[in-house]
Structure 1
Amino acid sequence: MLNGINLTLLIGPALPIPAPTAVIEALISVQVNSGGERSGFQLVFAVSSQSLLTNTLLPAGYFDPITTRVMIIVTLNGIPNVLIDGIVTRQEMSPSSEPGQAKLTITGEDLSVLMDIVELKRPFPGMDDTLQMLTILAPYAAFGVIPLVTPPLFLNFMSPTKGYKSQDSTDLAHIKKLAARNGYVFYVESGPLPGQNLAYFGPNIRLPIPQPALTINMDAHSNVDSLSFSLNGLAKEVLIVTVMDPITHKIPIPVPIPNISIFQPPLGARPTPPAKVRFAKEVAGEDPPGVVNLMVGQMLKGSANAITGSGSLDVLRYGRALRARMVVGVRGAGLAYDGLYYVDSVTHNLKHGEYKQNFTLSRDGLISNTPRLPV
């Protein structure tokens, strides 16, 4: 692609293999979204009535949804980075009477899409949330999925003689239910090696290692193409959980949950005050350990960050690929918005001779609380 940047595309069922030369030569652009609950990719190919893709590969099922696995790897300065390991979910053909305008678009998502296909009904006798997660993720080890499950702070076992928890939905839907109950997040992160995927279930932790600062409005030192910020005064709220008194179990006691995140402390010196109050409605049928897990989970989850930012950059100018679920510094945006931010999502856009990224940032509070940023 570029000097020091190489793209590797692997396609195939189960264990993909390097794409043939005809596929690589027909590739127009690659887009990969990462950082959200589910990552995705899109490949655009130039086709014609005489191309190998149209006459042979496509009819033979080379890009068939669900059965086709795709790995996109970018080698930057000799270091391979697995952008995504996913499954094709959609294909779109756009014929054209104009020469060179016909296109084939392949869209897919990460391996978590396999967890959202089949609805299951199965019991989990004597299993807490951790054992349920390990049981659900065990079959996906065949696809290289490695579970990383963080146990809740308070175990909530139910004796099999009294009853048991059960699943009556897809694996992914049940996982999201467990995550919401504990204030956790769940996502599948591709890499670090090709064929490996990390299934993370735990608190929304961002790696505290700062990436090189995003610099704007500093002449030759600027390394981003665009950058903007906004502050939403209605983003934060206070959650109130109503619990019964421990003696009579009849007197409701409202307990406000602090609007802070244990694993995502404010990165601004002047935090934004919460503007809304909400009462929890899903605790009526919970036992005491379940209520405690809900309260602790809310503190783990924290509040929505009131300040958000978005922008774009050229990877060659920035010097490396910006990574999601980490922190990054911002310089040149002014006293109020300079400082460290959490990187929420990153979109990789690759074309012949071009590698750019769009990104979104967030934090709570104006004015940086760090005296110096990494360059």
Structure 2
Amino acid sequence: MKKAIMVLITLSLVIGGLGSVALTEGGQLINMPRDWVFTLFQYKGLLTVAMLLLAVAALWLSTRNKVFSKMVLSLYVVSILGCTFLINWFAPDFWLRSQQHNASFMSVEEADSRLQSNDDVFVLEINGDARAYPRDWMQLPHIAGDVVGGEDTVMTYCALSNLPMAFNPNMNGQPTDFKIIAQVHNNLIFTDRNSGELIQQVTATAEYSQTELEQYPVQRMPWESFKALYPEGQVFNYEPVLYDHVTLKLFDSALEPHYEGEPMFPTLSLEDDRLATGEQVWGVQVGNESVAVTTEDFTEKNQLVVELSNQKILFVNYEEYQTVAAYFVDDSRDWEVTEVDPYGSHASGKLERVNLYSGMPWMVWSHWFPETQLVNKQTI
């Protein structure tokens, strides 16, 4: 009988341990395959039920036959409950709490008393309506929702990829409830609890249905630049709870070497050595083609044009505001010398912004976009 009970206990703990590792940072520490993470998440409900049924059977048989002491059984119960918590609620409901539906915002004047001039902010502007999302205040919630310029939006941020991306939260015409799950290959994955979908942030694509989320262009800049450009804008406000302060200190210490080029998790290919692993890039993808731009590319000029999938893209480095933007352009003029202001306007109109991946370390960008071009390596 003892052997049968041990089998039940072992099976339940293996299931619980596997699910707990996959749906926390532990999976990436051991380089768990991406497909495993997504599959385990898809069936986490069944795994939880199976684990609990095995545990109940083991406890009932052990109690009935007096096989193990109360101390051993208590530790086992705590382990099973801990696995249940880690698999189902730890990241989305306790640790990294999305603010898709309850985000609060404040005026520039209010935020100015809490932010420093050089604090990094992510800027979303739609129809003249602007929001700033301070990087430090996005590290824990990862997701903040709002209506901007009349459009439903969610700003997302992955600290490992150093990547802000904004989306229309409605998928296939249906409202969503986005929650953080974990990360794979140093990039955020989140779920829609309404549909059960998983979304990889950097690809903006739902894993199971392959639905592509509609993106809104994001620009990052120092706080002082946002104040100057959008004085009537609103600023995302995040008030951390007590244990959040511990997490933030851990994040800061762990991310420092990561941003210097030593990946926190061993899940990146690191085969592309055209740039230093930690060098931050501005990236654009159009169709199946992508390009990365570095600070060095703006040494001789502040505007440059690249072509991707037969579409010309204008990159502009606004030195005064310490920010870079990208726009779709045509052949109507020489865009490398045409003055384009920080709002995308020029003498004859206003340009459409491109979805810009701002600030990603080269090691992460080149992993997700292995065929990427570099401006100084291509003919423009």
TM-score (norm 1): 0.27
Higher strand share: 1
Higher helix share: 2
TM-score (norm 2): 0.27
